[in-house]
């Protein structure tokens, strides 16, 4: 497995999530039927009828609650079991240890068969270092290089928010809002993505989202599903994420988080042995 491709997958995850739960079927990126939704437009606040005002208050309240649910941290660490499958019948499973410091570092150690460390990765806001401990090589890259590989407008902050389990790409124009069957569905349209996000009532916990490229000529889509929530030091954290990415091929991933800790002391060891070669 090429670690560069794995990193590309990590950044591809910034686009959204696959829903595999019985309670949340895969979501089409289309607006809900007009007879079952609240339509939000720039002119809505000026309408005087009580129904419109109540709808606007409900939407604003929901957005505020979603924002307040965001996970904030100084440091984060976890062990992650990764299951990977693609349409070329490639199946992989491995463990990774992730540590990160807000706005500063993402450190990853990838463990292969028999508990052997295969790769160590250090990602900073403007640089990436990849140590292949099996081939004894070191590779340097930039976030721009990975943007080129994935053809996605990600950045370091988005990667950290993805790992923490916070909603992504909520900055589009809100086109519709719907409450039904214990779920809130929001349809947002942005310059980069069309986004249908789904949250569980009553607490508005992130449940699923689906994004499609705003460019109709690019048939890329990604689904994310957030499951197995647990309270970790006062934070609602999703311990299982299911992802489906579709472009030239389809990739399915399952990320299972264990030993999750927030705001504990950390180190980020990354010493390069002298006999390692630059790749």
Global pTM reads 0.80
pLDDT reported for residue 27: 41
Range from 42-46, 151-155, 163-167 carrying the lowest mean pLDDT = 42-46
Domains of the chain in start order, with CATH, are 3-278 (2.50.20.10)
Mean of all residue pLDDT scores within the chain: 80
With the CA atoms of 212, 215, 220 and 223 taken in that order, what torsion angle do they form, in degrees rounded to the nearest 10?
-10
More confident residue, 70 or 28: 70
How far, CA to CA in Å, does 247 sit from each of 87, 145, 151, 231?
Answer: 11, 19, 11, 35
């Amino acid at each position: 497995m090429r670690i560069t491709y794995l990193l590309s997958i990590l950044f591809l995850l910034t686009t959204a999530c696959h829903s595999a739960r019985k309670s949340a079927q895969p979501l089409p990126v289309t607006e809900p039927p007009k007879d079952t939704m609240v339509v939000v437009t720039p002119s809505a606040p000026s309408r005087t009828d009580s129904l419109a005002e109540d709808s606007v208050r409900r939407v604003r309240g929901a957005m505020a609650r979603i924002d307040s649910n965001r996970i904030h941290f100084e440091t984060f660490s976890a062990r992650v079991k990764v299951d990977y499958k693609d349409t070329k019948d490639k199946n992989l499973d491995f463990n990774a240890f992730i540590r990160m410091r807000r706005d500063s570092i993402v450190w990853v150690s990838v463990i292969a068969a028999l508990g052997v460390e295969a790769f160590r990765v250090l990602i900073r806001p403007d640089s990436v270092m990849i140590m292949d401990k099996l081939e004894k090589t070191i590779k340097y890259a930039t976030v721009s290089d990975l943007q080129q590989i994935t053809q996605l407008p990600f950045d370091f902050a988005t990667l950290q928010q993805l790992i923490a389990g916070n909603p992504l790409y909520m900055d589009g124009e809100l086109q519709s809002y719907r409450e039904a069957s214990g779920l809130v569905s929001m349809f947002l349209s942005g310059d980069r993505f069309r986004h249908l996000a789904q949250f569980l009532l009553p607490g508005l916990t992130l449940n699923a989202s689906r994004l499609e490229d705003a460019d109709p000529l690019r048939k890329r889509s990604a689904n994310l599903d957030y499951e197995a929530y647990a309270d970790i030091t006062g934070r609602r954290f999703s311990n299982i994420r299911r992802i489906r990415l579709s472009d030239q091929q389809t990739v399915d991933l399952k990320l299972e988080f264990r030993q999750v800790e927030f705001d504990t002391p950390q180190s980020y060891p990354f010493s390069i042995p002298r006999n390692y070669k630059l790749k």
